[in-house]
Structure 1
C-alpha cells in the first residue's frame, strides 16, 4: 500500500535489528523504501542495501551539512554511483542555514552542481531545505524550464512557497511531525497541498510520529503519517496510499503505472474519462506529459477510447452518485455522440449529469449542439478563464475567435439546461472581479473560481 520515499536505513541504530525493521515495514503495508544518502560513504551503503533487497531503492548525493569540503571530484564520484540501476534520484541535497556546518557559498555551489548532474542523468532530486527559503525559491525557479523534478522532503517552508512549487509540478512530503500536538500550522499547510503533489515519507530514524515520539523512527510508521494525512484531507487511508504510490511512480519510477481508468470517483461524484483529445492546449493542463489524477491514470490514445457501453457498465446505478460528470483530461464534446448516449442512460435511471467543457462544442461539431442537451445534461460548467479575449487566447493557446464562440455557447446553453456555471483559474494575472461581472451581468450564469490545484 505505501511507499516510504525517505528512510535513512544506513544509520547505526538499525544495525542490530534490521531484518525485524524490514519485517515490520512489510506487515504494515510498505511495498517500497527509498534510502537517500548524505555523503559518499552512506551512498555506497545505500547501494549495498538496494542490491540486497529488491524493494529498496537508493538516492545518492551530498547533504548540505557535508558540503564544506565540496569540490568537483565529489561530483565525479556521485556521477559514478548514480549509474547503479537501483539509483532513482540525486539526494539528499539542498540548503540548511539553521546550522552552521557548511558555509552558504559552499552549500549553494554543491547544490547547483548536483542539480546540474541530475538534469544530465535525467534523475529527480530530493531536497533538504531549512531556514533557506529565499535562496531555495530563487534557485529552483531558475530551473523552471529544464524539466527538473523535485521532492521537497520534510517540508517546513511557507504555504505560498508550497503553492509555487506545486505550480512548477514538484512534489512535497511531510514526516511524523504532522502528528505532533503543536504542529497546527504545518497541518494547515498540508491541508492545502494537492494530493497529486504529495509523497509519503518517515525520514527514519528521525521525526518519529505520535504515539512513538521519542523512539527511533522506522518505515513501518509511514502508515501513521498516511493516517494523519487522510484525517487532514478528510479522505481514506486507502486513497492516500493509492494516490501517493502512483505519485512515487511518477516521480521515481518506483512500482508500476495503473491501467487507464475510464471512470473515476472523486468525492461522491463519478467522472467519465471521455477523451484526452482537445482542440485547446491550456497552459495549466498536463494531459500530455502527466495525465494522472489522485491515483488514477487518465491517459489514453484515440484508439483506446471506449464505447458508451463500457461507461454505462462501469456506472451501474447512477443514483449511487451525486452526479455523473463528463470530464477527463480532454474536451468531452469531441465525442459528443458518446456523451449523449451515456447521459441518456443516466437520466433514464434517475441520475444527474454535468458537462465540464471549454465551451467550443459548437465549433468542434460544426453545428449548434446545445438544443441536444435538453433533458440529458443538468449542469454545464464552462472554462471561462478570462474576460479578455487576448488573455483567453494566450491561456488556452487558441485563436481569439474561440473566446466569442465560448460566450455564444454559454448563452445558448442557458436555454436548454438547468444551470450554467462559468469558471476561472485563480492565477495572479486573472482579474477575478471583472471576469465575475461579465459572467453574471452579461451571460447571466453562475460564477466560480477554480483553484489551480
Structure 2
C-alpha cells in the first residue's frame, strides 16, 4: 500500500532490530523501502540490505555533509555501485549550507558531478537541500532539457520552486515534519502541490511524525505522513497511497503499473473513464503517455471503450458518492450518447453528475448539445486554459478558432446547468486576467487547477 522512498536503515540505532523494523513496516502496509546511502560505505550497506530483504531497494551517493574530501575516485566508486540491480537512484546528494561540514565549492562540485553520473547511468537522483535554495535551483535549471529526473526529499523550498520543479518533471516529498504543530506554512505549500507530484518518505531515523516525536523514526510511520497528506488534500489515505506508489514506480521502477480502470474513485467522487480520444492535444496532458492519474491506469484504445452498461454496473448506487464525474484522459463529448445514458441512470437514482470538457462538444457533435445538459449534468467544468486565443492554441495544440467555440459553448451551457471554467496553474498563464474574464464577461464560476 505504501512505499517509503527515504529511510536510512544502516544507522547504528537500527543495527539490532532491522528484522523487526521491516516486519513492523509490512504490518503497517509498507510494500517497499528505498534506502539511500550518504557516502561510499553507507551506500554499500544500503546494497547489502537490498540483497538481504526483498522489500528494500537502494540508492548510492555522497551526501553534501561528506563532500569535504570529494574527488573523482569517489565518483568512480559510486558508478560501480550504481550497477547493482537493486540500485534505483543516485542519492542522497545535494547541498546543505545550514551546517558547515563541507565547503560550498566542494558541495557544488560533488552535486554536479553526481548529477552528470546519474544522467550517464540513466538513473534518477535523490536531492537534499537545506538553506541552499538559490544555488540548488540554478544547478537544477542548468540541466533543463536533459533526461534528469529527481526526488526533492524533505522539501524546504517555496511553492514557486515546487511548481518550477514539477514543470521540469521532478517529484516532491515531505517527511514527518508536516505533522508538527508549528508547520502551517509547510502544510500550506503541501496543499498546493498535487498528490500526482508527491512521493512518501519518513527520512528514518529522523523527522519522527506526531504522535511519536522523540522516538526513533521507522518506515512503519510513513502511514502517518500519508494520513496528514490525505487530510490536507481532503482525500482518502488509500488515494494518497495508490498515487504515490505509482509515482515511485514511475520514478524508480519500484512496484508495477496498475491494470486499466473504467471507473475510479478519488476522495468521495467516482470518475468515469469515458475515452482516451480527444480533438485537442494539451501540452500538460499525458493522454499519449502513460495516461495514469492518482495511480489509476486509464489507458485504453477505441476498441476497449466500454458500453454504458459496464459503467452503470460499476457505479452501482450513485448516492454512495459525492458526484459521478465524466473525466478521463480524453474528451467525454466524443462519446456524448454514452455519457447521456450513464448520466440518466445516475440522475434517476438520486446521484449528482459533473462533466469535465474542453468545451468543443458542439464542434465535435456538429450540433448544439447544450440543451441536452439540462437535468442530466449538474455541473460542466470547461477548460479555459487561457483568455488569449493564440496562447490557448499553443497550450491545447488546436486551431485558435476553437477558443471562440469554447467560449460560446460556455455561454450557452450556463442556461442549462452550472458552469465552471478552469485554467491550469502554469507560470505563463495570467491567472487574474482569466478569473476576471470568466466571472465578469462570461458570468460563471472560476477555478485554478494545479499543474501536474
Sort the TM-score into its range (normalised by shorter chain). Answer: over 0.9
Distance 1:201 1:450, change over 3 A: closer
Question: Equivalent residue for 1:75?
Answer: 75
Distance 1:320 1:57, change over 3 A: same
Question: Equivalent residue for 2:446?
Answer: 447
What is the correspondence of 1:44-443 to structure 2 with a 5 Å cutoff?
44-415=44-415, 417-443=416-442
- 2:116 and 2:396 mapped to 1: Cα distance? 32
- 1:176 and 1:118 mapped to 2: Cα distance? 28
Gaps of 5+ in 1: none
Distance 1:449 1:219, change over 3 A: closer
Post-superposition shift, 1:85?
0.9
The one-character-per-residue Cα deviations of 1:50-91 (angstroms, maximum 9, x if unpaired) are 111111101011111222222333222222211111111111
Q: Which moved more, 1:221-230 or 1:311-320?
A: 221-230
Distance 1:158 1:253, change over 3 A: same
Distance 1:85 1:306, change over 3 A: same
Post-superposition shift, 1:354?
2.0
- 2:227 and 2:433 mapped to 1: Cα distance? 42
The alignment partner of 1:337 has SS state of helix
Post-superposition shift, 1:290?
4.4
Distance 1:314 1:225, change over 3 A: same
- 1:437 and 1:159 mapped to 2: Cα distance? 23
RMSD over aligned CA atoms reads 2.2
**Conserved 8 A contact 2:198-2:247:** yes
Distance 1:136 1:369, change over 3 A: same
The alignment partner of 1:59 has SS state of strand
- 2:275 and 2:131 mapped to 1: Cα distance? 44
Distance 1:452 1:339, change over 3 A: same
Question: Equivalent residue for 2:20?
Answer: 20
Distance 1:303 1:66, change over 3 A: farther
Post-superposition shift, 1:252?
1.2
- 2:119 and 2:192 mapped to 1: Cα distance? 29
Post-superposition shift, 1:360?
1.5
The alignment partner of 1:424 has SS state of strand
Distance 1:373 1:119, change over 3 A: same
TM-score by length of 2: 0.92
- 1:17 and 1:431 mapped to 2: Cα distance? 54
Distance 1:348 1:254, change over 3 A: same
TM-score by length of 1: 0.92
Count of residues in correspondence between the two structures = 452
The alignment partner of 2:83 has SS state of coil
**Conserved 8 A contact 2:175-2:203:** yes
Post-superposition shift, 1:378?
3.0
The one-character-per-residue Cα deviations of 1:111-136 (angstroms, maximum 9, x if unpaired) are 12211222232211110001100111
**Conserved 8 A contact 2:239-2:267:** no
